[in-house]
Amino acid sequence: MAKKADQTASFMVRFNQKIFEESGESKVQWRGKISHVQGGDEQNFIDFNDALSFMQKKLAELTKEATKDKTSDQQEGILKKSLYMWKTIAQTGPKVIMDTLKDPKKQLTQIQDQIQGQISHLGDEIGEKVQIDQWRNASRSDFKKVKKSISELADEIKKLNAKIDSISKKK
């Protein structure tokens, strides 16, 4: 069996605020720059959807390169599957960014609450420091616990996605 190449794509997004006078009135505009870390390509944007498009384009290029030995139909199917996450990001990403820019403290608090809720849900044992002396090989019951925890996290993520979808539909 041929070894599959792992692909990694990292993006860095920077925002800066421009405050200017227009017709005697103060105006604010947020601008940004997105960079593909591995390739070094960059793009300036005013509309965050342009940043999302930049990421989609770079990920599509990586997927096409990784599947160049496939038929065009196979490539298209793989590309559609690999970019499925963008449906959610495209629907909710700009709103999250705008809400964060409008009230960063509120958004940070909400994110922290969600993370804290997940940590509490998994139990206090996550917060405990494991001493190296206590390390041992994982048992079957350990794997079952991890599997159960992952399942619980997946359920919570589904609930969060449902909430995001309902919020998106209201707008």
Winning range, highest mean pLDDT, from 9-23, 93-107, 143-157 = 9-23
Residue 6 has pLDDT above 70, yes or no: no
Give the pLDDT confidence score for residue 44 in this predicted structure. Answer: 95
Residues linked to residue 27 through DSSP beta bridges, in sequence order: 20
Tell me whether residue 152 is in a domain.
Answer: yes
Q: For the segment 36-91, what is each residue's pLDDT rounded down to a tens digit?
A: 998 899 999 998 888 888 988 888 888 888 888 888 888 777 777 766 666 666 66
> The tokens 């390509």 sit on which residue?
41
Locate all alpha helices (DSSP H) within the chain, ordered by sequence.
Answer: 48-66, 72-82, 85-102, 104-122, 140-170
- pTM for the predicted model, two decimal places: 0.46
Locate all alpha helices (DSSP H) within 13-103, ordered by sequence.
Answer: 48-66, 72-82, 85-102
Give the pLDDT confidence score for residue 5 in this predicted structure. Answer: 55
Q: Are residues 115 and 164 in the same domain?
A: yes
Give the pLDDT confidence score for residue 126 in this predicted structure. Answer: 46
Q: Between 25 and 166, where is the model more confident?
A: 25
| Number of domains forming the structure of the chain | 2
Q: Between 138 and 109, where is the model more confident?
A: 109
Q: Are residues 113 and 150 in the same domain?
A: yes
Tell me whether residue 97 is in a domain.
Answer: no
